[in-house]
Amino acid sequence: MYKIIKFFLVALLLAGCSVSDKNTAADNAKLESIPLELTTHLGDQQEFVEGDEIQFLLSLGQDAYIYMYYTDAVNKLTQILPSKKQQSNFYKAGYFLTIPEYETLYRFTISEPFGNESIWVIASDRSVTMKQFPVSIEKIRQLIKKSSDKAYGEYALKIVTTRKEKDIH
């Protein structure tokens, strides 16, 4: 049986985004934490083989806008949420979210390049509009945190992907 996790989530963007400068560094230091966690349909097993389909399971400790990014083994950054197939990114506290949602017909399937990879979930009490795709996860984190009014949270999930070994008979 899959382990149910209390809270799940992580990531967004800095370069080329519209951000209000009303928050200062001192303001951001006072942000309350949004509890979140992320796991996969395999629970604590975080090693996947070529061709495996992954479904991420996310839980949220308070109402928030969720941003999710994937960094592959060669550090290519891909936005998972929001997306064209799953545009809504506001979720209520306690909502158990599966990403991707099966209704979207999108599948997250393991393929090359293989190695150490990360999935970032970032939560904010404010929606952030991106004008350009982010250049790094660090800039995304900074932008979302700076744009947050009262609350911010993040979570990083590390996974390992490998090539499928061929059966020799």
What pLDDT digit, counting tens, does each position of 57-102 carry?
999 999 999 999 999 999 999 988 888 877 789 999 987 788 777 6
Mean pLDDT of the chain: 78
Domains by residue range for the chain, with CATH: 17-161 (2.60.40.2550)
| HEC string for 33-55 | ECCEEEEECCECCCEEECCCEEC
- Whether the pLDDT of residue 120 is over 80: the answer is yes
Question: Contact at 8 Å (CB) between 44 and 154?
Answer: no
Q: What is the pLDDT of residue 21?
A: 33
Q: Which residue has the higher pLDDT, 167 or 66?
A: 66
State pLDDT tens for residues 139-164.
999 999 999 999 999 999 999 999 99
Kindly report which listed range (7-16, 25-34, 68-77, 84-93) carries the lowest average pLDDT score. 7-16
Residue among 151, 150, 157 nearest 69 (CA): 157
Distances (CA, A) of 141 to 2, 124, 136: 29, 10, 9
* 22/144: higher pLDDT: 144
